[in-house]
Structure 1
């Protein structure tokens, strides 16, 4: 990479025809994050919002309206304690309710759960009713998308639009092609499929905009989306902000779709990678199961207890707050997954001149004196988190999955705890840090439920393989010779 060949912590790269100053020094990264950003936001993020999600300067408009007290507060709400508590409790309730039906073991598609259909490829062998075969990534994407959508948008929305997760996955598969501005007419599969999926999803969110507007005014919203009481406060706040800005249903749909993608795709991917690493290492899986066993409990009442002549589905009891304070190894697995599998970048357009100085410790790695770099107001800076997270100078054996690197001993209590500061700063999504309070709890809740309630193994081989990456927003290019996330097929669940 450029940093290694030039032995420089700062170098210039062109993204979308615009020069960006790439910063890879951890100390300089922290200074960049503390610097004030100019508005409108960075051109790269604007290009993603416009070309992929159909935004027409909506976000920039809301940024400019901040002085009038009207703004999109999504990134702020996602870290507010009240919202995080509400969201965590709601996601936990839904996971406890539905996790036992991650696969229903029903052969008929009519009897299967919504997330089992389509690309999940769930099949129940004739000879064994206690296992099924499925595309693990597609199944988890559909399940996580269904649960998260239920919390964000409400039960009525999910019931009436059950195929959202698959279209969201199509956008992710085609993200790079769409981001480049490839027109629909170009004979490229990613262009036609990506544009079609984006159009379908924006249409769905346009319907939601009109229904919510009617519902918020006390008018009958129609039979499909009549009951919107259970829509999350995050979405309700955005909708009311959009109404103050007098946005059309189309403009509102583009903004909703971009946030929807940002939250669900990140949650899905990091959960998937955490699960595959745990089931690929049985000894680590045993340790995690033992650690969370007091707070994540799977049980099944006997026929004698229920009085019914058949077995009830398993029950799941999950206390995510206790997990957060009492399960450092489990949390460390999550942080290591983010380090190893997230290749996000943060962008900032400077609102004033900025001076970045390298620390003496970092300069010593390169056998140089500490260096200083000056940037002018209006310049663009990009922080490639993946480059730092895979740098052997800061992480020993960076390509190895090692959660223990995040475990530290508290000098006061003598107990171990997970230390995310080793990984900081986290990557940014379209709406601020991807490591917000909402996504961390959601990922840990989904992962804990699967680990406690399910066994997963490959249809061939002894251990579940950890597949390679596919090229997507915030991800690494595909590893040659390895399957991408969407190619993880025929895993057995029981």
Structure 2
């Protein structure tokens, strides 16, 4: 027994000595060798194969460098660049990528995308992964799928598409803009007198002209829209009682991609750590809000801070009532509400910024847009003689949002072109049955056919198609006229989104829906009509480069501008 103990101790000591003698040089050498071996093996496996032209093909897996991680680092860093490079190198419309030990089929042909999206396939896996990794809970989709009561529905896309919801949204957006767009900046020198969106946007008054101020445009647009959209969705009491929620939402948005692909809290990255901390605070806020609404809905006093919740939107009310019927925990319902809140607010705020900066950066386009929308939206200011007061009244906004949507084709085309240039969403599907997809004759002289197997997860990166020079001449240029079509019979011009359809999915359906379109066009038109925006420097106002993220892009840097009221 003593001899056995001695030999065991000697073996343990030998292992310890071996590990202690392993230098960092040896460790990195092993790591580099593993990566090279992985690249060689995956490269051999992805080589072109002989196919029977009469039989459907299967996807080839793209080569990768990192064991188990696969293409993960490239997806986090720049997913659009990865998919574009693989489209060229693989020279096929369907290919496989490897991520965290799992293979995904990637489809880059628009006809094939349409086939997959209209097939018997589910987008639940991406929602489930987002709820688990980004928003902290995964029980929503499981609970909805297991429930068989047709009266209980959490179909957000269906509710948003209803005419009644569109009417409600138009009225609310018009109300918020008429009340607040004149106070985009207030020219107050004291932060106490500023609205919350102005305090967080680095506003400075001009020393030469008290009707001009300098501001970071992206921060101002994001905070202004974020505050108003939050109030529209969640009611006034939400941000009044949880004023730091928007700042936490922006932090979560910055770190969405690493959290989504599975980054862990212990990773030594300040961004990831702050993302988890912001998520935890938002989950707590949403849990408190859900409990308060449940009490309010039952006629019980929820407390003085959240007593008045009657102005919560019907969209959020219906979701929280659904969660109560499903008997979800406060944490699960909080994750679900947070995911919808993020899905709407991050996309709408960023696309509005890009729309505004493009219009104001082109003087000729700005003039055309103002002329076109003048019959739908305009700003006026009563004179002192008209009011009888010895001071100027605030400007007033007149807005007909429904007319704006149907009678301003150039303005609407600017919105579509902004979506094409500054968003690169990704749609995910899990196939419920075998599926065969074929290229269109526009894509290939000899269209290829592929077989996608049941249970396969399919990725569709829409940005690859939107930046394809074979489909869009000079795809890097901003050209809204590519979305203008002329009716052969009447000669009337219309803006058509067909060149970039289908739009990429969000977590809850298409990003181009009744809500986001009305919000983006309404906010953009109101600011174009009421405010003048110029570069804060002597140079012309320029559109900044963007930083590729999932969904709508962030500007790589903010733009310092001068703001002045038009009236």
TM-score in terms of structure 2 length: 0.82
CA contact (8 A) 2:420 2:466 kept: yes
> Is 1:248 the counterpart of 2:248 in the alignment?
no
CA contact (8 A) 1:358 1:372 kept: yes
Shift of the 66–134 alpha-carbon distance from structure 1 to 2, 3 Å rule, reads farther
Render the CA deviation track for 1:121-145: whole Å, top value 9, x for unaligned: 1111333211111111111111101
2:212 alignment partner, one of 124, 127, 131: 131
Q: Return the offset for 1:20.
A: 1.5
Q: Return the offset for 1:398.
A: 0.7
Render the CA deviation track for 1:382-424: whole Å, top value 9, x for unaligned: 1110000000111111111000000000123210000111210
> Is 1:107 the counterpart of 2:177 in the alignment?
no
> Is 1:453 the counterpart of 2:530 in the alignment?
yes
Of 45-54 and 225-234, deviating more is 45-54
* SS of residue paired to 2:171: helix
> Is 1:64 the counterpart of 2:146 in the alignment?
yes
1:52 alignment partner, one of 134, 140, 146: 134
Q: Return the offset for 1:342.
A: 0.7
CA contact (8 A) 1:177 1:190 kept: no
Q: Return the offset for 1:163.
A: 2.7
Render the CA deviation track for 1:258-279: whole Å, top value 9, x for unaligned: 0000000000111011111111
Q: Return the offset for 1:56.
A: 2.6
Distance 2:303 2:274 in 1: 31
Partner residue in 2 for 1:412 = 489
CA contact (8 A) 1:354 1:376 kept: yes
* SS of residue paired to 2:429: strand
Distance 2:379 2:86 in 1: 49
Partner residue in 2 for 1:28 = 112
Q: Return the offset for 1:4.
A: 1.7
Distance 1:455 1:63 in 2: 50
Distance 1:32 1:9 in 2: 13
Partner residue in 1 for 2:413 = 332
> Is 1:421 the counterpart of 2:498 in the alignment?
yes
TM-score in terms of structure 1 length: 0.94
Of 51-60 and 322-331, deviating more is 51-60
* SS of residue paired to 2:193: coil
Report how many aligned residue pairs link the two structures: 480
> Is 1:345 the counterpart of 2:426 in the alignment?
yes
Pairs within 5 Å for 1:190-269: 190-269=271-350
* SS of residue paired to 2:147: helix
Distance 1:461 1:432 in 2: 43
> Is 1:387 the counterpart of 2:484 in the alignment?
no
Distance 2:438 2:347 in 1: 32
Q: Return the offset for 1:67.
A: 5.3
* SS of residue paired to 1:137: helix
Q: Return the offset for 1:427.
A: 0.5
Q: CA RMSD in A?
A: 1.6
Q: Which runs of 5+ in 1 are unaligned?
A: 477-483
Partner residue in 2 for 1:481 = none
Render the CA deviation track for 1:36-77: whole Å, top value 9, x for unaligned: 1148x22x4432221111123322321332555433121211
Distance 1:472 1:153 in 2: 26
Distance 2:262 2:209 in 1: 49
Of 86-95 and 12-21, deviating more is 12-21
Partner residue in 1 for 2:560 = 490
Q: Return the offset for 1:90.
A: 0.5
* SS of residue paired to 1:443: helix
